[in-house]
Structure 1
């Protein structure tokens, strides 16, 4: 016994040492720091392409960051504060060569609805979102994003684009005193049209025309379109600088009160940030033939938001537009983000006085052109053609987002979840009559479907006269739970009382193992119809039952085996 105990301890120590070696191995380090996978192979050609892509994306990032800060209700410099940390962090932790992290229209809109234009709340929100995202990555909870369906995403992005775009109309018109709530914003924008400033209108329309023209030109020029508009405005000085209203009453608010004010936004914003960035990463990984690690992407976004909070950033995520520019320019590694971040830092260091002269009308034009492609009206026709029921979560999300963005997302997820649960509770059961009733189950059997399955069996087999035998075709069933087992036990008892049979066919090994472990009385099962035909006669006692059951077998063979069809007809 002493020798065995010592051997056991030695074995445990050896396993611990092996586990420690795996945790501290170079492969494990590469999994946490993806830069180690591509940095040893870095070459001059990659450097040239990364610098070119970084410069191009940087020219797009600066004006967009300023514009998105306006959407978030923050001073424009906070857009730049939020735009440079992602390039540095993602270079070390990211698994996609194309993704660029920074301010986006959707995240800016979400932040606006939560922080109320107060910079200190936006910075705190970035820290909390980053912590939530990093913890999710460490706990490998990326799969939770799979429960947000495509119609919900599309409904939200379309509503966000409409909300953001219309919210800039007041800046194009140069009117003030318009509320932020969407429906009130629509009313007061039209109500105050007589107060529009001619200079703002002319400048805004010129910028819109310039941006739309550049959007229809070569793709190589589109990346510079936002920058071109801002540069022209800076040179011409057509309008005076915009004014900003700030409130500072000196009231001290505790940390708990701020977090409480965030409400549901503290759950929605981290999830939407992860969803947007990972969806972009997956799309470009598929397009450019490489794979990403979803949980590692979560970690990269989380660390970016945590570190960004120390430089006055608000929450960021992956940008589809800038990622597309990055990919089209030919970026080779995430190092292109470093060049983009340097461009942003240089802008902060040397161009801040120039930003003072950028009118709100020009930023509004940039924002409208940036969010316009997000209104994908063609997706409605596609859903109508493919599956009309998916339009329900789409429109619920779309319409509720005009009330509150968070409510739209939560409402869409709730409707999608209800549809998913309904499909689980009402699985498709195909019933055919061939002497016995054959019920083919199309999916797994879990507790929501228990009552429905029992109702079908009772109404079609047990409550008719005379009662019918039933064969459950379980070839498509891959999961079963205790509630279903309890119901099957009761069904087998009911079949026995009526002297008919309930037979399970096509059971997968895992399902058969569960049924055998449940020790169901009267359980009959088979792997094939031939096996069932060979053993069924031994299970029938009376001559009458033998005759009836033989006819049932022949009918089943006629159904499942074409070679027996002539024999069935003769009988």
Structure 2
């Protein structure tokens, strides 16, 4: 009978000096530098024919970015130029650190909504959150912790996205009809709208509804089956810019007699933002607020804002990677740097924008250099077009935001979850409802906790099949473990086997338990202790335990803990042969069953 090799007693660990030397060599490799600064990889290979494609894509994205940045600045409770500040710095910084050519970094509706409750107190809060979130994301990226994103499932992301889009769209329903709203939350927004219908401004409502219909129809123009498809595609992509141009022109023409039928954006500070340190203190209503007091106020958002930012950019990068492997940690480094650098120019938190990334991809961008064109366009708008921005109707911006949010409400994913695995609707529902009726921060947290609970439950109760089979005229208990064992599941395996054997006593004479180990690729100290304890419990029940075809490393954990158990591990034998050898040995030791005499 083959015994386990003595090598299982020796766990081969690398020498400390080898580890340190290997780490130093890795840091000094040119590949490590180019990994952290991807521009060093793609810029030397840049081709002249890429320039036109990048310019067209960057210009098209810029036409989408400018109106959305202004709109999201308003959503955040800030002056519109803050959204533009965020856009231009995000575009330029991502060129250096970003690894995905399609991704466009700027403020988003979700980020705007998450900082709104702090920005209305003072813009300094939004800038400080941008800096702190950037530092956290950057550190996580440098520590290669992008793997943590894998613990957040698609149902949680879907629930969060749909709830956030619903909340943001609901918050703009009042602006669409020219009604003043005191809140950006889901229920208060609709309550205010329904109770103030009499305050609807006719011209705002007409322009807003018509603009929304125009945007939704223009989104379908790209699918026109006849004519020049490229023309229809770019006409569809420019829908936001066309809406802003028309609304601004109309507001300007109708205001020449001194009256203004629409609520307009108002003055936007012209010129580039000052380059200065982020605000580590502020003054609110004439009272000094220290850095610690600001942190206390921000609270849970220090965790939720980085988390949501990371989720968005990693999800977007994966969606547009085109078969390439996305380095989540490097995307976190890029996003962290965008936020850190942005905080020096009065930026609010930024992340990847799905809408603008889709526009970038559809426009045929070839390298991240397209972001330089977008950033330059935003800078030109800040320098020369701020007087024009004065006449942008708020109802037009509201329509742009609502149209963007409608595209994020992917109801088809709910039906897909229902068809594939109904249990996934639980984290989706918990996340969505919590985001809608409590807050986005706690909603994503509840979703993550639900995901982790799933993982812990499966870890504590692995899939174990126990059957009683008749082999060579003897009843044998076969235990088939369908996943790896760890400390959480150790007691569960022992309890299930002992319970099964106890239930068999008096019915079938089970004297042998065999645990299959093909799928047990690793165990820990707790599992090893429970295997030893299980053998002792089975001895009391006059049963023998064998472990068949276990991984050598897993068997070694048990044998190093208790060397005399080496013989319970069986290799190069069939189960039938193990049963035959066991009962032959028992017979040779006498008619009475003796466990110790066999092992």
The answer to whether the superposition gives a TM-score over 0.5 is yes
Structure 2: tracts of 5 or more residues without a match: 1-15, 223-232, 255-260, 268-282, 470-474, 594-599
- Which residue of the other structure, out of 452, 463, 480, is the alignment partner of 1:440? 480
Partner Cα distance (2:592, 2:89) in 1: 77
Q: CA deviation at 1:498?
A: 2.6
| Cα drift, residue 70 of structure 1 | 1.8
- Once the 2 structures are TM-superposed, how far is the Cα of residue 43 of structure 1 from its aligned partner? 1.6
The structural deviation recorded for 1:113 is 4.0
Structure 2 residue matching 1:471: 3-state secondary structure: strand
Q: Is the 8 A contact 2:265 2:392 kept in 1?
A: no
* 1:225 paired residue number: 239
Distance verdict in 2 for CA 1:457–1:22, change over 3 Å? closer
Correspondence 1:419-458 to 2 at 5 A: 419-434=454-469, 435-458=475-498
Q: Is the 8 A contact 2:266 2:389 kept in 1?
A: no
Deviates more, 1:176-185 or 1:410-419: 176-185
Q: Does 1:267 align with 2:320?
A: no
> 1:10-30: CA deviations, max 9, x gaps?
xx9999999767644533322
Q: Distance in 2 between matches of 1:262 and 1:157?
A: 22
Contact 1:175–1:197 (Cα < 8 Å) also in 2: yes
> What's 1:250 paired with?
286
8 Å contact kept, 2:478–2:513: yes
> Which residue in 1 is equivalent to 2:257?
none
**1:416 corresponding residue in structure 2:** 451
Query: Which runs of structure 2 are paired with 1:191-206 in the superposition (5 Å)?
Result: 191-206=195-210
Q: Distance in 1 between matches of 2:74 and 2:97?
A: 29
Provide the residue aligned with 1:568 in structure 2: none
Partners of 1:53 and 1:376 in 2: CA distance: 26
Q: State the match for 1:39 in structure 2.
A: 43
Alpha-carbon offset, residue 508 of structure 1 = 1.2
| Partner Cα separation in structure 2 for residue 22 and residue 458 of structure 1 | 50
The answer to whether the 8 Å contact 1:397/1:409 transfers is: yes
Shift of 1:116: 3.7
After TM superposition, the structure 1 stretch with the greater mean CA deviation from structure 2, 538-547 or 78-87, is: 538-547
Residue in 2 aligned with 1:507?
Answer: 550
Cα distance in 2 between the residues matched to 1:483 and 1:309: 48
In structure 2, the residue matched to 1:475 is: 518
Could you tell me whether the CA contact under 8 Å between 1:537 and 1:546 is conserved in 2?
A: no
Please tell me whether residue 379 in structure 1 is matched to residue 445 in structure 2. no
Q: Report the Cα distance in structure 1 between the residues aligned to 2:388 and 2:530, rounded to whole angstroms.
A: 74
Q: 1:170-209 residue pairs with structure 2 within 5 A? A: 170-209=174-213
Deviation of 1:400 (Å) = 0.4
Distance 2:170 2:71 in 1: 14
Q: Distance in 1 between matches of 2:422 and 2:25?
A: 54
Deviation per residue, 1:73-106 (Å, 9 max, x gap)? 2111111011011221111111111111001122
Q: How far, CA to CA, are the matches of 1:530 and 1:18 in structure 2? A: 43
Deviation (angstroms), 1:482? 1.8
The DSSP-based 3-state class of the residue aligned with 2:287 is: coil
Q: Is the 8 A contact 2:167 2:185 kept in 1?
A: no
Q: How many residues align?
A: 535
Query: Within 1, Cα distance between the matches of 2:515 and 2:120?
Result: 59
The alpha carbon displacement at 1:454 in A equals 2.1
The Cα of 1:213 is off from its aligned counterpart by 1.7
Taking structure 1 as the reference length, the TM-score comes to: 0.88
Q: Is the 8 A contact 2:466 2:478 kept in 1?
A: yes
CA contact (8 A) 2:136 2:306 kept: yes
- Cα distance in 1 for residues equivalent to 2:424 and 2:81: 41
Partner of 2:168: 164
Q: Which SS does the other structure have where 2:288 is aligned?
A: coil
| 1:178–1:189 CA contact under 8 A, matched in 2 | no
Q: Which residue of 1 aligns with 2:71?
A: 67
Cα separation, 2, equivalents of 1:226 and 1:547: 89
Aligned to 2:530: 487
Kindly state the Cα deviation for residue 117 of structure 1 after the two structures are TM-superposed. 5.5
Measured in 2, the distance between the counterparts of 1:116 and 1:488 equals 60
**2:85 counterpart of 1:86:** no
Are residues 271 and 447 of structure 1, via their aligned partners in 2, closer, same or farther at CA, if it must alter by over 3 Å? Answer: same
Asked if structure 2 preserves the Cα contact closer than 8 Å seen for 1:97 and 1:334, the reply is yes
Q: Match of 1:104?
A: 108
* Contact 1:72/1:117 (8 A) holds in 2: no
| 1:439/1:127 CA distance change after superposition, 3 Å | same
In structure 1, the partner of 2:131 is 127
Preserved contact between residue 505 and residue 528 of structure 1 (Cα < 8 Å): no
Decide whether aligned partners of structure 1 residues 368 and 477 sit closer, same or farther in structure 2, where only a CA change above 3 A counts. same
Q: 1:354 to 1:441 in 2, by over 3 A?
A: same
The structural deviation recorded for 1:453 is 1.6
Offset from partner CA, 1:247-292 (integer Å, 9 cap, x none) = 962121111111111111110101110111011111111xx23333
Cα 1:529–1:19 change in 2 (3 A) is: closer
- TM-score between both structures, scaled by the size of structure 2: 0.84
1:349-388 matches, within 5 Å, as: 349-388=383-422
SS at structure 2 position matched to 1:430: strand
Q: 2-side partners of 1:60 and 1:254: how far apart? A: 38
Residue among 498, 519, 543 paired with 2:587: 543
Mind listing any 5+ residue stretches in structure 1 that lack a counterpart?
1-11, 550-571
Shift in CA distance, 17/529, structure 1 to aligned 2, threshold 3 Å: closer
Structure 2 CA distance for partners of 1:197 and 1:303, relative to 1, 3 Å: same
**Secondary structure, in 3 states, of the residue corresponding to 2:189?**
helix
Q: After alignment, is 108-117 or 209-218 more displaced?
A: 108-117
Q: Give the Å deviation of 1:194.
A: 1.4
1:556 is matched with none
Deviation track 1:345-385 (CA, whole Å, cap 9, x = no partner) reads 00000111111111210100000011111111111111111
Contact conserved, 2:204 with 2:263, CA < 8 A, in 1? no
